Every structure is written in C-alpha cells, then in structure tokens.
Structure 1
Amino acid sequence: MIRRPPTIVCYICGREYGTKSISIHEPQCLKKWHNENNLLPKELRRPEPKKPEVRTITAKGFYDLDALNEAAWTSTQSQLVPCNICGRTFLPDSLIVHQRSCKPKAAK
C-alpha cells in the first residue's frame, strides 16, 4: 500500500499543501487574498481570515494534522457568502459571477 505524504489544508484558500511548503504558501495566499478583497465592492469585503488556534501536539509529541486540517477547513468555509436569491454559498468574487445568471424560481 502506497501512503500519501502528510498534507496541511490552507486556512485561507482550502487547498492542501505539503508540510514543508505550507509555510511558503500561506504568506503568498494571504497577500493574494488582500489584493482580491480590496477589488470587491464594499458590501462584499470580508475581514481578514485568522489562522485557527488548535492544540496540534498529541501525547506522543506529534502534530495532530487531522484537527489542524479540520479547523482550517472550517475557517475556509466560514468565508463563503450566500446568494440572496438561491442561498448557495460562494467566495465573494464568484458570487458576483453567479448572481448574473441566478434567477428566482418561478412559482408553479
């Protein structure tokens, strides 16, 4: 059985990265997040995502990656904004595109 190398979920974008590259990715991802957030209309701008505080050291002294990844995924999902027509959730820049084609359901 081939085992995958351990990965960590980015708390900003929700993608998985290796344990060595996550420290390189996070500052770049946060910078990209700020650039994109500043381009949004004021009503869609969000507060900066905060890195989740998780007790990640287990009794044996190893990192509990599952708990860390769960907290990061929850942080990513909390940044989604619901569509005021259909209720689906999107990142703010995707919401703008979605709302161009989202129509209220016709009454039967």
Structure 2
Amino acid sequence: MIRRPPTIVCYICGREYGTKSIAIHEPQCLKKWHNENNLLPKQLRRPEPIKPQITTISAKGFYDLEALNEAAWTSAQSQLVPCHICGRTFLPDRLIVHQRSCKPKVAK
C-alpha cells in the first residue's frame, strides 16, 4: 500500500498543500483574498478569515492533522455566500457570475 504524504488544508481557499508549502501558500492566499474582497460590491464583502487554532498535540508531540484540517475546511466553507434565488453557495466573485443566469423556478 502506497502512503500519501501528509497534507494540510488552507483555511482560506480549502485546497490541500504539503506540510512544507503551506507556510508559503497561506500569506499569498490571504493577499489574494484581500485583493479579491476589495473588488467586490460592499454587500458581498466578508470579514477576513481567521486561522483556526488547534492546540491538540498527540503523545508523540505532533499536532492532530485531522482536527486541524477539519477546522480549516470549515473555515474555508464559511467563506461561501448563498444565492438568494436558488440557495446554492459560491465564493462571492463567482456568485455575481452565477446570478446573471440564475432564474427563479416557474410554478406549474
């Protein structure tokens, strides 16, 4: 059985990164988040995501990656905004595109 290297979920975008590259990715991702958030209409702007603090350390002295990844995934999912027509959730910049074509269902 081939073992996959451990990955950490980014709390901003929800993507997985290696344990070494996450430290490089997070500051760049946060900068990109700020740039994109500032371009949104005021009603779609969100507060800055807060990095989850997981203090659970195993007996061997390692962080609980599963708990850390779960908290990061939850944080990334909380950034999604629901469409007021259909209820699906999107990142705010994608919601604008979606709402151009989203139409209310016609009752028969």
- TM-score interval for Structure 1 and Structure 2 normalised by the shorter chain: over 0.9
1:33-44 to structure 2, matched below 5 A, reads 33-44=33-44
Q: Unaligned 5+ residue runs, structure 2? A: none
Shift of 1:11: 0.1
Q: Is the partner of 2:25 in helix, strand or coil?
A: helix
Q: Is the partner of 1:8 in helix, strand or coil?
A: strand
Q: Deviations over 1:19-56 (max 9, x none)?
A: 00000000000000000000000000000000001124
Q: Unaligned 5+ residue runs, structure 1? A: none
Query: Paired residues, what number?
Result: 108
Match of 2:4 in 1: 4
Is the CA contact 1:56–1:65 (under 8 Å) kept in the aligned structure 2? no
Q: Distance in 2 between matches of 1:57 and 1:19?
A: 16
Q: Deviations over 1:63-89 (max 9, x none)?
A: 210000000000001111000000000
Q: Distance in 2 between matches of 1:67 and 1:50?
A: 16
Q: Distance in 2 between matches of 1:92 and 1:14?
A: 15
Shift of 1:61: 1.0
1:1-108 to structure 2, matched below 5 A, reads 1-108=1-108
Q: Which amino acid aligns with 1:5?
A: P
- Moved segments of 4+, more than 3 Å: none
Q: Which amino acid aligns with 1:47?
A: P
Give the percent of matched residue pairs that are identical in Structure 1 and Structure 2: 89
Scaled by the length of structure 1, the TM-score of the pair is: 0.98
